[in-house]
């Protein structure tokens, strides 16, 4: 009997998977952090009209959103049913649009400031008077590139 027993070298040792959860969690956290949830909560009814001659709006950081429509049901008691403008998270009046555009411009890098597009997300039941007022304010603020955001579908669907 030898004192030093030879270890039996049967097969390769199993690879430790103990660090695998760490790696996966890292991936998970990465995706959780990078995923941007909708940053504005809508306070207005926002059923977009349909159109089929549309262009895609890429480059999300170059878009300013202006919402308009009737206040959502839970705000109707305090704000009535008259269509309103929503900028960021607050109701706003037409006069605030210019200031909003200025602030949005300043928050972007200088070389991108004249490439901004304004996306008008307007409920299809809104009167054109309000939309025209917004358009007029945008002209005054020299934000001339606009996009009427729509859902994709035949235009006839709007007539019902």
Partner 1 sequence: MAKRSAPEVNAGSMADIAFLLLIFFLVTTTIETDSGITRKLPPIDDSEEEPPILKERNIFIVLVNSSGDLFVEDEKMEFRDLRQAAIDFLDNGGGTGDEACDYCQGAKDPKSSDNPVKAVISLQNDRKTQYGRYIAVQNELVAAYNELRDREANRLYNMDFTEMEATFNDPEFLGDKDKLKERISVIKEMYPQKLSEAEPKK
140 scored as a contact of partner 1 (CB under 8 A): yes
- For the bound state, the minimum distance from the C-beta of residue 5 to partner 1, rounded and expressed in Å, comes to 25
- For the bound state, the minimum distance from the C-beta of residue 132 to partner 1, rounded and expressed in Å, comes to 5
CA-CA distance, 103 to 107, in Å (whole number)? 6
Q: Which of 40, 52, 80, 81 binds partner 1 (CB under 8 A)?
A: 52
By the 10 Å C-beta count (0-12 exposed, 13-18 middle, 19+ buried), 160 is classed as exposed
Q: Which residue has the tokens 């039996």?
A: 8
Q: Which range in 2-10, 74-82, 94-102, 123-131 contacts partner 1 by CB under 8 A? A: 123-131
CA-CA distance, 65 to 38, in Å (whole number)? 12
Q: Which of 54, 62, 92, 94 binds partner 1 (CB under 8 A)?
A: 54
CB nearer partner 1, residue 106 or residue 128: 128
Q: Is the dihedral of CA 155, 136, 126, 41 positive or negative?
A: positive
Rounded to 5°, the CA angle 91-145-102 comes to 50
Q: Which residues bind partner 1 (CB under 8 A)?
A: 17-18, 20-21, 24-25, 27-28, 31-32, 35, 49-58, 60, 63, 117, 119, 121-129, 131-132, 135-136, 138-140, 142, 144-150, 152, 155-156, 158-159
């Amino acid at each position: 009997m030898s004192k030093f027993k030879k270890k039996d070298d049967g097969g390769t040792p199993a690879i430790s998977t103990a660090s695998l959860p760490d790696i996966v969690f890292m991936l998970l956290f990465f995706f959780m952090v990078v995923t941007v949830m909708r940053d504005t909560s809508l306070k207005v009814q926002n059923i977009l009209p349909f159109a089929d001659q549309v262009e895609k709006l890429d480059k999300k950081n170059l878009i300013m959103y202006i919402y308009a429509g009737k206040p959502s049901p839970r705000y109707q008691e305090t704000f009535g049913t008259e269509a309103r403008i929503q900028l960021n998270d607050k109701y706003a009046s037409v006069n605030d649009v210019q200031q909003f555009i200025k602030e949005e411009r300043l928050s972007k890098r200088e070389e991108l400031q004249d490439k901004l597009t304004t996306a008008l997300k307007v409920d299809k039941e809104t009167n054109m008077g309000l939309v025209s007022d917004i358009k007029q304010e945008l002209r005054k603020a020299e934000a001339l590139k606009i996009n009427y955001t729509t859902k994709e579908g035949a235009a006839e669907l709007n007539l019902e």
